[in-house]
Structure 1
Amino acid sequence: MFLLDLFFPNRCVECNRIIPSEEVVCELCFDQILFTHHQFSARNLLSEKCRLLFPVQNAFALMQFEEESTSQKIIHQLKYGSRKKIGKMLANWTLEKLDLNQNKPDLLVTVPLHQKKLKERGYNQLHLFANTLSETLQIPCDHHLIKRNFYKKAQAKKNRDQRIFNENLFSITRKITNQHVLLIDDVFTTGNTMSAVAWEILKAGDNNVSVLVMAMD
């Protein structure tokens, strides 16, 4: 490990400065990250966007996601740079800012990858993130409640075709009722993926859905 650090030192994803092996950004670049300062139990931009698509109880985004931003580079390294330990770092940042005292969920659920995509990447970028939250908050986590049915996004030419595809994109693997589910994903963009998963949970029983994402576009 010492030789690897010597010849291939860990560098800040933003400025390329050499940093400790467990870090992803230097202190100076950390101060440039656009954190949202959302309150989980209060209305915010993410909860308003979710409410246009499905009934959401609470919502929280850790960071803002913009082109060429530090947050984009961090999540890109997590998803495509084989640096899954970044998930734990993001979870720790989230724990510093997320207050669940008033509305603690019963279950954490991650948005799944298709099995083919999981095999290609080698890991789901959400698992270590969610597991860290689960362990610290003492909330059970289920990575298998939701199944992704398709490998690629449908190339729908019509709105109706896209709606039908979204309705069948995911399926639920077991019955759950009377649960407050915290649904976890990396980036909230259009909200179509989150909405498709949320409706599967809502249709399964008398459940409530809240949302937690690493970043929102």
Structure 2
Amino acid sequence: MILDILFPNRCISCNRITDADLIICNLCFEQIHFTHFEYCGENILKEKCKLLFPVENAFALMQFEQENLSRKIIHELKYRGREKTGKVVADWVTESLDFKEGKPDLLVTVPLHPKKQRERGYNQLHLFTNTLSEFYQIPYDHGLLKRNSYSKAQALKDKKHRLENQNTFSLDKNISNQHILLIDDVFTTGNTLASITWEILKEENNTVSVLVMAMDE
């Protein structure tokens, strides 16, 4: 209680004091560019994915535009130690995502290299995914995928090097006959998701859908 008074929670956008379980105030919330995609319908993200790999469904919550609030939210999550941001964003997803007949069997996160996870202290996708798992009653597996190479953050790469997918992934266990929802923070070139999806599809009768917090056009 005393800490709340001395160090009140503040909006990451305007710095107004706000509720402890929020990351932005109600006024700034209106500035977020949500996509309003339908998970089971056609949308720009699904079209982009289909150019790279077979995909069942695709959903992005926000637009990841230059200097907009969604970019700041995700940067707070990834680079400024605000892990609880993942739960807040997941709560926003549950308000707009209806799986309908396309409900997946398993939630799977894009892994960090162990060195990167030690540096950051957490995987920014885990709390986000755990929250979705509890809400939708879908199991998750954070250990299915393994990242085999260490590289600097996508945000710190120039466009040329982002297009060169230097990250290699492998499955750490056998899995088949599963509709997997592959979860990442931002869709940029799609190369990371493509690399992972093709690994998953090597196993028998697997299918893949995609969910990202934001989509960079």
The residue number in structure 1 matching 2:189 is 190
Give, as a single letter, the amino acid of the residue that structure 2 aligns with 1:24.
I
Identity, % of aligned positions = 63
- C-alpha displacement of 1:5: 2.1
- C-alpha displacement of 1:138: 1.0
1:105/1:180 contact within 8 Å kept: yes
Q: Secondary structure at the match of 1:183?
A: strand
The residue number in structure 1 matching 2:70 is 71
1:47/1:59 contact within 8 Å kept: yes
Structure 1 stretches of 4+ with a deviation exceeding 6 A read none
State the TM-score, normalizing by the size of structure 2. Answer: 0.92
Structure 1 CA distance, aligned partners of 2:10 and 2:179? 40
Q: Write the mapping of 1:34-183 to structure 2, written as runs, cut at 5 A.
A: 34-152=33-151, 162=164, 165=166, 169-183=168-182
1:13/1:70 contact within 8 Å kept: no
The residue number in structure 2 matching 1:207 is 206
Q: Secondary structure at the match of 1:203?
A: coil
The residue number in structure 1 matching 2:4 is 5
Give, as a single letter, the amino acid of the residue that structure 2 aligns with 1:145.
L
The residue number in structure 1 matching 2:32 is 33
Q: Secondary structure at the match of 2:101?
A: coil
- C-alpha displacement of 1:30: 0.3
- Structure 2 residue runs without a partner (length 5+): none
Q: Deviations over 1:85-109 (max 9, x none)?
A: 1111111110110011211101100
Matched residue count: 210
- C-alpha displacement of 1:204: 1.9
Structure 1 CA distance, aligned partners of 2:56 and 2:149? 28
1:9/1:18 contact within 8 Å kept: yes
- C-alpha displacement of 1:171: 0.4
- C-alpha displacement of 1:112: 0.3
Structure 2 CA distance, aligned partners of 1:139 and 1:22? 24
2:40/2:100 contact within 8 Å kept: no
- C-alpha displacement of 1:13: 1.2
Structure 2 CA distance, aligned partners of 1:214 and 1:76? 12
Q: Deviations over 1:28-80 (max 9, x none)?
A: 11011000000000110000010111001100000001122111111111111
Q: Secondary structure at the match of 1:23?
A: coil
- Structure 1 residue runs without a partner (length 5+): none
Structure 2 CA distance, aligned partners of 1:75 and 1:52? 26
1:59/1:211 contact within 8 Å kept: yes
